[in-house]
Amino acid sequence: MWGWTRRTLYALLFLSLAAPLIAFRYCYSLWDVPDPAQIAAGQNQTIRLYYSDGVTELARISPKSGNRSSVRFQDIPEHVQRAVLAAEDNSYWDNSGFDVTGIMRAVWNNVTGASGGGSTITQQYVKKATGNEQLSFGRKWREMVLAKKMADTYAKKDLLTAYLNTVYFGRGANGIQAAAQAYFGKDVQRLDVSEAALLAGVIQRPTYWDPDVDKENAERRWGFVLDQMVAQGWLAGRESLRFPATLPRDATPGSARMQIQNQVLAELEELADLRRDELHQRGYRVITTIDRDAQTSAEQTVSTVMAGQPDTVRAALVAIDPRSGGVLAYHGGGNGIGLDYAQSPQEAGTTFGTFVAVAALRLGFRLDTPLDGGSSRMVDGIPFRNPAGVRCSPCDVRDSLQRQVNTASAALTSKIGTAAVADAAYQLGIPHELRGKPTLTEAAGKQPDTRIAVGSGATRVRTLDMAHAYATLAADGVRTSPHFVSQVQDIEGNNRYNATLSATQVMPPKVAAAVTANLPQVPLANGQAAAIRPGVRAYGDEGATAKAWMTGYTRDIATAVWIGADKVMPLKNKEGKDITALGEPATMWRAVMEAYRGGKVHASQTPDPAARPSPPTR
């Protein structure tokens, strides 16, 4: 009996070892390796972006002419080669085109949902040649076989040269020579070690890790590349190197369409592992979440309101579908200097008072909890003042929602603690960090002070974040993930990528409903009523405004509008009058809210004005 069992185990062991080898040899003989010359010629298709209807074209992204210039192996300095190998494949000269350990790690990451791949440079080159970027074992198997065959067919230096002449570095630059020009205005032969490390570092995430986009992460990746070079014995004197200065990215007009393109490309790179060069290679069509009516209205109203305003005045607008997280309208400025102010962290001002009330209701406080709403008072050693004419006595949590009673919000914050307010904001959708920096803390490891009640001090949020947080309230406390892309299709109409809805109940529906019902309500021309929260970041004690916000929502759309400047200063409009939340921001907000017709009124889901959380059990 034991002898039969032992022979069976031997046979199974043999088959487990032999079967993959046989399959590998069979596929090796069956599949042809791609011609490196064809890869460089393949990246010339136009990417088309569509509105959410999937029919109306939003924008086209055409390949840039003259963005590629091939160089010979002998023209690429050794330290440039080594920087790229340190970043992407430090065993390149020794491996057989693939790394079994790296492949197993990538398979495990795919199964567990973790990040990080295991591709060698040869495998990356095969992926680019075949255009197959799906996260599957079948793709990895084919990639591994073809990588081995390419390594056997072509000399290593020729493969590395072809890779460096085709890999995408961001800024529309395909190849190391184009990248050297785009980032540093010089030929590849003149790159120093520090510059080479920066370029090598952006390969993995060329849209995000451009220093002009995210300098903190660019520096982190640059340091990683240098550390890897040291570990391989390729670099000495690492401590003397400094992060290099780069040329500014091409100053693109601050148009909403261009800003949407940038967000779409960044999202596809992050979530679908689809880079711009790969999108061009296959001529993909991208169906966005952008609503045609809402976006058209956003562009028109921002243009109208901002026309003739002082040069210092900036604006941003974001609208989100509360049920899906899809961005319905997006405008990051339009002042022609190429900055996207919808992504710019700003002090949230008194719009943050809503989050104070949310935090209190989550902890079991009632809407009629009494508060001190005097015109001015000291709270936790910090002076707070209400807007001119605002006095609330007697006052309670409901009043702090319905009116801009800064002293009451500060008093409530003192009662519940600043950590509770920050946590409520995080749960609603305000990120913990932006570009590696905390959003709501005074410094790393410290809680914010009481000024968080009025969105001041160290509180920083983006217009996108405010729309996201208020969308969570509109969805009865269900938080989704903001996104711009719904689908990606190839030229035959086959789906290459589908957005996955992420929805999490982050607070009891009654809390969200109570907040919604007790915020000020305004009627819209489309027959709906919207809950609103205007807010300002005050300038001085004379009633001037430094930043003005209008946020508000219905069941179908949440919109946030910000107006401010690049520095803290009193905001004046083209007529020389103070800009207020109920002025220019409200005009833009209303135009988008009334233009959106994609949703339906859900009468059965109308918030109950009498809704209130259960009383505390303690």
Question: What's the CA gap between 337 and 263, in Å, rounded?
Answer: 17
> According to the model, what pLDDT value does residue 149 have?
64
The tokens for 477 are 């406390």
As a whole number, mean pLDDT of residues 441-468 equals 84
One-letter amino acid of 67: N
- Give the residue, 358 or 16, on which the prediction is more confident: 358
Weakest-pLDDT range from 125-129, 170-174, 338-342: 125-129
Residue with tokens 């004046």: 572
Residue with tokens 């060069």: 277
Length of the chain: 618
Mean pLDDT of the chain: 82
> According to the model, what pLDDT value does residue 484 have?
97
- Give the residue, 590 or 162, on which the prediction is more confident: 590
As a whole number, mean pLDDT of residues 36-58 equals 76
**Highest mean pLDDT out of 49-58, 130-139, 258-267, 475-484:** 475-484
Instruction: For residue 298, name the pLDDT band (cuts at 50, 70, 90).
Output: very high
Task: Quick: pLDDT tens for 72-85.
Answer: 899 999 999 999 99
* Whether pLDDT at 16 is above 70: no
Weakest-pLDDT range from 14-23, 31-40, 157-166, 421-430: 14-23
> According to the model, what pLDDT value does residue 155 have?
75
- Give this prediction's pTM: 0.79
Alpha helices in 272-404, H assignment, sequence order: 276-282, 292-306, 353-362, 397-402
As a whole number, mean pLDDT of residues 469-486 equals 97
> According to the model, what pLDDT value does residue 608 have?
36
* Whether pLDDT at 601 is above 90: no
Element spanning 233, H or E? none
Alpha helices in 475-508, H assignment, sequence order: none
Weakest-pLDDT range from 218-222, 297-301, 483-487, 545-549: 545-549
Question: What's the CA gap between 535 and 46, in Å, rounded?
Answer: 42
- Give the residue, 537 or 586, on which the prediction is more confident: 586
Contact 264, 246 (CB under 8 A): no
Contact 150, 126 (CB under 8 A): yes
> According to the model, what pLDDT value does residue 263 have?
93
* Whether pLDDT at 600 is above 50: no
Task: Quick: pLDDT tens for 183-216.
Answer: 998 999 999 999 999 999 999 888 888 998 888 8
* Whether pLDDT at 221 is above 90: yes
Contact 592, 317 (CB under 8 A): yes
Question: What's the CA gap between 511 and 367, in Å, rounded?
Answer: 10
Weakest-pLDDT range from 38-47, 256-265, 301-310, 568-577: 38-47
Residue with tokens 């509360």: 322
> According to the model, what pLDDT value does residue 336 have?
46
Instruction: For residue 143, name the pLDDT band (cuts at 50, 70, 90).
Output: low
Contact 554, 590 (CB under 8 A): no
Give the contacts of 85 (CB within 8 A, at least 6 positions apart): 92, 93, 121, 232
- Give the residue, 365 or 172, on which the prediction is more confident: 365
Give the bridge partners for 560, in sequence order.
Answer: 318, 551
> According to the model, what pLDDT value does residue 119 have?
74
The tokens for 352 are 């943050």
* Whether pLDDT at 53 is above 90: yes
> According to the model, what pLDDT value does residue 37 have?
55
* Whether pLDDT at 378 is above 50: yes
Q: E-strand spans in 506-553?
A: 521-523, 529-539, 544-553
> According to the model, what pLDDT value does residue 142 have?
60
Task: Quick: pLDDT tens for 393-450.
Answer: 789 999 989 888 999 999 999 999 999 999 999 999 999 887 667 788 765 567 788 9
* Whether pLDDT at 599 is above 60: no
Contact 536, 545 (CB under 8 A): yes
> According to the model, what pLDDT value does residue 162 have?
83
Weakest-pLDDT range from 93-107, 285-299, 410-424: 93-107
Instruction: For residue 9, name the pLDDT band (cuts at 50, 70, 90).
Output: low
